[in-house]
Amino acid sequence: MTTETTPIATAKIPAPATPYQEDIARYWNSEARPVNLRLGDVDGLYHHHYGIGAVDRAALGDPAHGEYETRLVAELHRLESAQAEFLLDHLGPIRPDDTLVDAGCGRGGSMVMAHRRFGCRVEGITLSTTQADFGNTRARDLRIEDRVRSRVCNMLDTPFDKGSVAASWNNESTMYVDLQDLFAEHSRFLRVGGRYVTITGCWNPRYGQPSKWVSQINAHFECNIHSRREYLRAMADNRLVPHTIVDLTPETLPYWELRAESSLVTGIEDAFIESYRDGSFQYILIAADRV
């Protein structure tokens, strides 16, 4: 019997790579914000997304207490993991022999959670060699490298066979790609009846145009936030039929308000808070089936 080993991530982005994709790869290869690493250090699940749910103020205790900051970091991480669990809740029935794809997998926290829940194989793709190597190292540390793998890959041109994937997701990564190209690729590798889920920030079409806050977020992360309408149109064009849409804006605002109180602020917190409050920005989950 042979044992599959996790390949070392390659340093070159597979073609076709655009100058923009190369810029994004450089951005995430050099990214090492404490807000991502310190939260992951809480329990070894390293996320690159935000949180949902009510803040447990009782768990935080007295702000004057010497352990308050440590408790705050743990609470932010709990809300992050709650967001990932909510996404996994919408993947539908998954068997241990199924394959899942995390498009834009970051450092792999959600992949580990998916494997622990379903026992299945999870493939992650990212433009960042740094992230892929980090995720593969964590998988080896957890002795799940035969079931959980990160690779450097363009999410618009993946190596997965047509119809070979049971479910896939993007968790706050769709703002780096064209939605028509992205959903065409998910539709290609998902089996008929397979599930696609995304949690994302999007600008509200009712606002008219992206607000100044959305523009600040775009500049901060070097991304291009789409409107809610664009998601639904691109899904319809690519045989992905939404059946669940959840507005998570009220659920994510407490996360941002708490993060703004911490030592982990990055300067973008006010843009998220103000845009969520004025309705120009929304945080949503969309679950769709491949038909």
Domain locations along the chain: 19-290
pLDDT at 4: 45
* Residue 202 contacts residue 282 (beta carbons within 8 Å): yes
pLDDT of 50 over the 50 cut: yes
Q: How many CB atoms lie within 10 A of CB 190?
A: 25
Q: What is the pLDDT of residues 237-261, one digit of tens each?
A: 999 999 999 999 999 999 999 999 9
Q: Which two tokens stand for residue 160?
A: 């997965």
Question: Residue 260 has what pLDDT?
Answer: 95
CA 230 to CA 54: how far, in whole Å?
30
Contacts of 236 (CB under 8 A, 6+ apart): none
| Interval 161-193: pLDDT, tens | 999 999 999 999 999 999 999 999 999 999 999
Please check the confidence at residue 11 and state whether its pLDDT lies above 80: no
User: How much of the chain, in percent, has pLDDT values that exceed 70?
Assistant: 95
- Considering only 60-74, 98-112, 175-189, which range has the smallest mean pLDDT? 60-74
What is the tens place of the pLDDT at every residue in 206-240?
999 999 999 999 999 999 999 999 999 999 999 99
Confidence of residue 9 (pLDDT cuts 50, 70, 90): low
**pLDDT of 7 above 50:** no
Quickly state the pLDDT bin for 32 (edges 50, 70, 90): confident
Burial 111-149 (b: 16+ CB within 10 A, else e): bbbbbeebebbbbbbbbbbbbbbbbbebbeeeebbebbb
For residue 53, which phi and psi values (nearest 5 degrees)? 115, 165
Q: Is the pLDDT assigned to residue 273 strictly greater than 60?
A: yes
Calpha distance 290→246 (Å, rounded)? 19
Kindly report the average pLDDT of the chain as a whole number: 93
First to last CA, the chain: 38
Q: State the pLDDT at residue 166.
A: 98
Question: Which distant-in-sequence residues (6+ apart) come within 8 Å of 216 by Cβ?
Answer: 268, 271
Write out the CATH class of domain 19-290.
alpha beta
Model pLDDT, residue 15: 58
Residue with tokens 């743990």: 74
Predicted pLDDT of residue 33:
76
Which pLDDT score, from 0 to 100, does residue 1 have?
41
Residue 281's DSSP bridge partners are: 203
Residue 83: closest CA among 264, 285, 289: 285
Nearest to 78 by CA among 47, 102, 123, 107: 47
pLDDT at 288: 98
Backbone angles phi and psi of 64, in degrees to 5: -80, -10
E runs forming strands in the chain: 99-103, 121-126, 148-152, 165-171, 190-203, 240-247, 281-290
- Evaluate if residue 2 carries a pLDDT over 50: no
